[in-house]
Amino acid sequence: MKKKRVMALLLAATLTIGNMSSLGMTQAAGKEDSQTQEFVRTRAADKNIALNRPARASKYLDATGGNPARLPKLAFDGKGDNQTTDAQNSRWQSGDDDTFTEQWLEVDLGNSAKVSDVTVKFFAKLYGSFVIETSDSNGAKATWKEVGKLDIPSSNDQNITRKVDLTKNGQPTEVSRYLRLRFTSYNTNAAKKSIGVYECEVHGELDTPDKPNTIKGNIAKGKKVTASGVEAEAPQYKPELAVDG
């Protein structure tokens, strides 16, 4: 009888420990699943926030021999995956240079943003290592902060695509309004010491802009007014009467 009682107690203890372990594993798995789902939702919501945004560059290749100019904006027109002649002409190119100097390609996102990655599609062999920088101004005295970089060794590969992951612990990087790629090297296997970019995509989500103070009512009421003239026979009808409320 005593032996049966001991066995029953041991069985109960084993079941209790098993249930606790199972509960702990379920809770941990649930938490992990929740984090994974949140990360997936965040990445799924990302879009190319640089598409058709204003762009600038250190310089660009002018139109020559019937070929169009390789303007900075062409690196943000969304034609990077299109193999038509129009798309092949749609690229930014720093020049047709025999000597290399650092070049940059900049996009105005319009507002600060949370960015998960930057994808760059290069033209031919015209690629090199670059630094990703951000600033709230693009003036001559702007201060640029590095948020990512990528080393690209020289090779004979052509039309390569490279992606720089800007997430940290599963979270996107906060960037300011302006984002630029600063190219610090060139491909020594290329015929020219230049940079060419078919498309630069910035994947993320723009921050919601601050709403300006809203002025309600008739904002012209009581304001100073001028007019081209006043009727000579009715000088009492002055311009300010049109905004007196």
Amino acid at 152: I
Task: Tell me the C-alpha distance between 130 and 185, whole Å.
Answer: 7
pLDDT of residue 6: 44
Q: What are the angstrom distances between the C-alpha of 185 and each of 23, 46, 135, 157, 217?
A: 55, 30, 22, 16, 58
pLDDT of residue 231: 72
Task: Tell me the C-alpha distance between 144 and 159, whole Å.
Answer: 28
Cβ–Cβ < 8 Å for 189, 206: no
Instruction: Provide the 8-state DSSP code for 190.
Output: S
pLDDT of residue 228: 79
Tell me the per-residue pLDDT of 65-101, one tens digit each, with 9 for 90 and over: 989 999 999 999 999 866 666 777 899 999 999 999 9
CA angle 190, 196, 197 (to 5 degrees): 140
Nearest to 222 by CA among 200, 244, 201: 244
**What residues of the chain score a pLDDT lower than 50?**
2, 4, 6, 9-11, 13-17, 20-23, 25-26, 28-29, 32, 34-42, 44
pLDDT of residue 10: 47
CA dihedral 27, 32, 36, 37 (to 10 degrees): 0
φ/ψ of residue 9, rounded to 5: -65, -40
Q: Which residues pair with 200 in a beta bridge?
A: 120
Amino acid at 2: K
Task: Tell me the C-alpha distance between 218 and 187, whole Å.
Answer: 62
pTM of the predicted protein model? 0.69
Nearest to 162 by CA among 207, 135, 139, 195: 195
